[in-house]
Chain A
Amino acid sequence: MSERKISASAALAEALHDEMSQDESIYILGEDLTAHAGIFGQFKGLPEAFPGRILDTPISEMCIVGCGVGSALTGMRPIVDLHFSDFVTCAMDELCNQAAKIRYMFGGQVKLPMVVWCPDGAGLRAAAQHSQSLESWFVHTPGVKVVVPSEPADVKGLIKSAIRDDDPVMFFQHKRLFAKEGPVPEDKDFIIPLGQAAVKREGSDVSLLTYGSGYYLCAQAAEELAKDGIEAEVVDLRTLKPLDMDTVAQSIKKTYRAVIVHEACVTGGFGAELAARIQSELFDYLDAPVGRVGTKDVPIPFSPPLEDFVLPSVADVIEAAKAVAYR
């Protein structure tokens, strides 16, 4: 692994640059892309490097995603920028009734290679309509793959896989983590296959199963827990569909305890699905009920003390880990 450290945003731009250089059929479309290289500056350098391949659209989410679908069906490999992941709500027909179902309902006649890039997550005081974590909606929709990277290297390796994949991929990247730096290989061939979780910290006492922003909570919680003599294993799932259940199982067979941590609200979140699978597939390896940590079940509020209160914290993870570890 390279020691070079770059931000998640830079990792994204670098990966897109690599892929777009190699494949003319890749293009990016969405709102406000060329003026500032994306509203978060996430496509830095791309508008200049690939003129005509970064398309500014009107504010028309149904048609933006529809353009992705229609162009994917006719030979292109679109990357659709949804501006904020919250706006999937404006294009649910195109995402769930069209993109997710077209290949299947037409009997496998066609491929639909499309990445829907969704900046998601809370913590920016952006309030209820610009802060959600909606990945589990799409895990619940057969026909799409779901990727939620955490560290910059994951962003680079996974966006490449998502682009090269011939199926629709929902790619949720946390807004608050854009500037977060981490080591990222410069190698153009560096890639992380979809469906491969990473054990990012080894431990023997409790498995912290997480993804996206949850990874950073878990990494920090694990350090704190170690001071109390609890060695947590941090498993970054990275992709929710396909899910790397083997890595989850290996970890639980070692620790016998699991806490699932995500920023999405708890009820109906991905943790519910994962906990169900753990209890049915790994019941004999559990010494405690599976814990879940997520956002409280309200829309994300605006005022800082309110938002901070509803979001999961490092303390929440520590508490949940101790609850299962001391049981």
Chain B
Amino acid sequence: MPEDSNLLLSMYKTMVKVRQFESMAGEYFAAGDIPGFIHLSIGQEGSSVGICSALRDDDYVATTHRGHGHMIAKGADLNKMVAELFGKATGYCKGKGGSMHIADFSIGILGANGVVAGGLPIITGAGLSIKYRKTDQVAVVFFGDGASNRGPVHEAMNMCAIWNLPVLFVVENNQWASTTPQTYSCSVGDLCTRAAGYGIPGVAVDGNDVLAVREAALEAVARARAGEGPTFIENKTYRIRGHFEGDPQKYRKEAEVKAWQDEKDPINRYTKLLTQKKLLNKTKIQTIWDEVKAELDAALDFAKSSPFPKPEDALNDLFSNPY
């Protein structure tokens, strides 16, 4: 367990940042300020922050349609993120991507992905590139229990295993693939057991325990950097919000959602732990939440005051070598 109190507190702050970002996004989406669809990761902050706390800036991450948390935990710029959600010219993708297609190549974020499991073949390529270039970077892909049933996952696990690539497969088993329960759609309860079929170490982690996730990530990252190949981590967690904002959620009972909140909530659990360690108290907690809110408010101001792209900008950025 890491004992560096600055690190522990900074992880806490990042979790709060993800939570507040997602709450803000839900609020502004409901108000009609954010077009399209958004998928929120509230309740899954233990996974995003725990994994990314073990990474360097030059490590790669490929994420999903539910990717805001991973982006923030990897160090993405809030101004550019909010602006992208709002469809503004100052957003990460100048308004061409939106919530499901944010990337920041300057800090190794190879992109969110609108295609379920779309990140796995790409991260395999990133892993191959690392090996080819002989650096000690690692490449991490996040995906969900729903994605775990798609073909590319299995191709990627096999390929990363045979080539011993420095890759972390992180499945966030949040129990629901859109409206379909994991217990129905997956042939096994513990998705990490599938790793054995590819000769990859697989581990199930309490995904709402951010330090347990970090520990698993540190171990996997160390293996990867040492040239010992891929690791499969299953973070067992829960999707508190609907699949998308506005999801009527007729497929599950409120009591089930409730059971994963409060005491099982990753931020509440971590707050309790850090309070016991005397790293947090009520005043400190308030200060951190206020600081994050101020940062987010500034990002909102930035986004709101930013211009929309010019319509004809839709024709730019297609090719690096245009004709």
B151 CB contacts on chain A under 8 angstroms: 62
The 8 Å CB contact of B96, one of A27, A55, A70, A107, is: A107
The answer to whether A41 has its CB under 8 Å from any CB of chain B is no
- Give the chain B neighbours of A267 by CB distance below 8 A: none
A136 at the interface (CB under 8 A from B): no
Please state if A98 and B115 are interface contacts (CB–CB under 8 Å): yes
The CA of A104 and the CA of B315, in the complex, are separated in Å by: 9
Name A86-113 residues within 8 Å CB distance of B: 93-94, 97-98, 102-113
B18 at the interface (CB under 8 A from A): no
Q: Please tell me if A66 contacts chain B, counting CB pairs below 8 Å.
A: yes
CB neighbours (8 Å) of B120 from chain A are: 63, 66
**Chain B: minimal CB distance from A140 (Å):** 14
In the complex the two chains form, what is the Cα distance from A78 to B151 in whole Å? 23
What residues on A are CB-neighbors of B19 within 8 Å?
A: none
Query: Does A74 contact B60, Cβ atoms closer than 8 Å?
Result: yes
Q: How far is the CB of A162 from chain B (nearest CB, A)?
A: 11
How long is the Cα–Cα vector from A62 to B159 in the complex, in angstroms? 11
Mark contacts of A101-128 with chain B using CB atoms, 8 A cut-off: 1 yes-contact digit, 0 otherwise: 0111111111111000000000000000
Interface residue ranges of B182-215 to A (CB < 8 Å):
none
Considering only residues 103-131 of chain B, those with a C-beta below 8 Å from chain A are: 103-105, 110-111, 113-115, 118, 120-130
Fill in one digit per residue for A219-237: 1 if any B CB lies within 8 Å of its CB, else 0: 0000000000000000000
Task: Indicate which residue in A27, A74, A142, A166 contacts B130 across the interface (CB closer than 8 Å).
Answer: A74
Contacts of B316 in A (CB 8 A): 108
In contact, B91 and A107 (Cβ under 8 angstroms): yes
User: How far, in whole Å, are A107 and B320 apart by their CA atoms in the complex?
Assistant: 11
Q: Give every chain B residue within 8 A of A186 (Cβ-Cβ).
A: none
Most buried by B among A102, A109, A111: A109
Of A62, A76, A97, which is within 8 A of B129 by CB? A76
* Contact of A67 with B by CB under 8 A: yes
* A290 at interface, CB cutoff 8 A: no
Q: Quick check: A105 and B121 within 8 Å, CB to CB? A: no
Interface residues of A in 202-230 (CB under 8 A from B): none
* B115: A residues at CB distance < 8 A: 93, 97-98
Taking a contact as CB atoms under 8 Å apart, the answer to whether A166 and B321 are in contact is yes
> Within the assembled complex, what's the spacing in Å between the Cα atoms of A4 and B249?
70
- A66 touching B94 by the CB < 8 A rule? no
In the bound complex, do residue B125 and residue A70 qualify as a contact, i.e. CB atoms below 8 Å apart? yes
Q: Interface residue count for B (Cβ, 8 Å)?
A: 48
Interface 0/1 of B156-167, CB less than 8 Å to A:
101100100000
Contact, CB under 8 Å: B159 / A63:
yes
**Quick check: is A69 within 8 A (CB to CB) of the other chain?**
yes
Say whether B101 faces chain A, with CB atoms less than 8 Å apart: yes
Our pick among B124, B159, B318 for the contact of A104 (Cβ within 8 Å) is B318
* Given A106-B101, A108-B316, A110-B103, A74-B121 contact (CB < 8 Å): no
A70 touches B121 (CB 8 A): yes
Chain B residues within 8 Å of A74, by CB = 60, 110, 125-126, 129-130
Report Cα–Cα, A182/B83, bound state, in Å: 56
B114 / chain A contacts, CB cutoff of 8 Å: 97
CB neighbours of A242 from chain B (8 A): 323
B121 touches A69 (CB 8 A): yes
- Tell yes or no: A152 within 8 A of B by CB: no
A21 on the interface (CB 8 Å rule)?
no
User: For the complex, what is the distance from the CA of A142 to the CA of B91, rounded to whole Å?
Assistant: 22
Is residue A304 within 8 Å, beta carbon to beta carbon, of the partner chain?
Answer: no
Residues of B within 8 A of A108 (CB): 94, 316-317, 320
A51 in the interface, Cβ–Cβ < 8 Å? no
Complex-state Cα separation, A63 to B119, whole angstroms: 10
Report the bound CA distance from A102 to B94 in whole Å.
13
Q: Which of A150-170 contact B (CB under 8 A)?
A: 165-167
Residue A195 CB within 8 A of the other chain: yes
Indicate which residue in A93, A94, A106, A111 contacts B320 across the interface (CB closer than 8 Å). A111
Q: Is A71 an interface residue (CB 8 A)?
A: yes
Q: Does B282 contact A (CB under 8 A)?
A: no
The answer to whether A66 and B152 have CB atoms under 8 Å apart is yes
Question: In the complex, are the beta carbons of B60 and A103 less than 8 A apart?
Answer: no
**Interface pair B321/A165, CB less than 8 Å apart:** yes
Given A107-B91, A242-B323, residue A58 in contact with residue B162 (CB < 8 A): yes
For the complex, what is the distance from the CA of A109 to the CA of B133, rounded to whole Å?
22
Rounded to whole Å, the gap between the CB of B308 and the closest CB of chain A is: 14
Asked whether A106 lies within 8 Å of B121 as measured between CB atoms, the reply is no
Known contacts A71-B126, A73-B125, A97-B118, A62 near B155 by CB under 8 Å: yes
**Known A70-B110, A97-B115; contact A58-B125, beta-carbon cutoff 8 A:** no
CB of B110 to closest CB in A, whole Å: 6
B317 touches A70 (CB 8 A): no
In the complex, residue of chain A having the shortest beta-carbon distance to the beta carbon of B313 = A107
Do A58 and B105 touch (CB < 8 A)? no
Instruction: Specify which chain B residues have a CB less than 8 angstroms from the CB of A65 in the assembled complex.
Output: 121
A290 to B147, CA, bound (A): 48
Residues of B with C-beta under 8 A to A67: 121, 124-125, 128, 159
Bound-state Cα–Cα, A102 to B96, Å:
10
CB pair B155 A106 closer than 8 Å: no
A70 near B126: Cβ-Cβ < 8 Å: yes
A303: chain B residues within 8 A (beta carbon): none
Q: Give A43-95 interface residues, CB cut-off 8 Å to B.
A: 55, 57-58, 60, 62-63, 65-76, 78, 93-94
A110 vs B132: C-alpha distance in the bound complex, in angstroms? 20
A-B contact list, 6 entries, CB within 8 Å: A63-B156, A66-B125, A74-B125, A104-B318, A107-B95, A107-B96
Query: Top 3 nearest A-B pairs by Cβ distance?
Result: A66-B121, A70-B125, A108-B317
Query: Apart from A70-B139, A107-B97, what 8 extra A-B contacts exist at CB < 8 Å?
Result: A62-B121, A63-B124, A70-B128, A74-B130, A76-B132, A93-B152, A98-B122, A106-B92
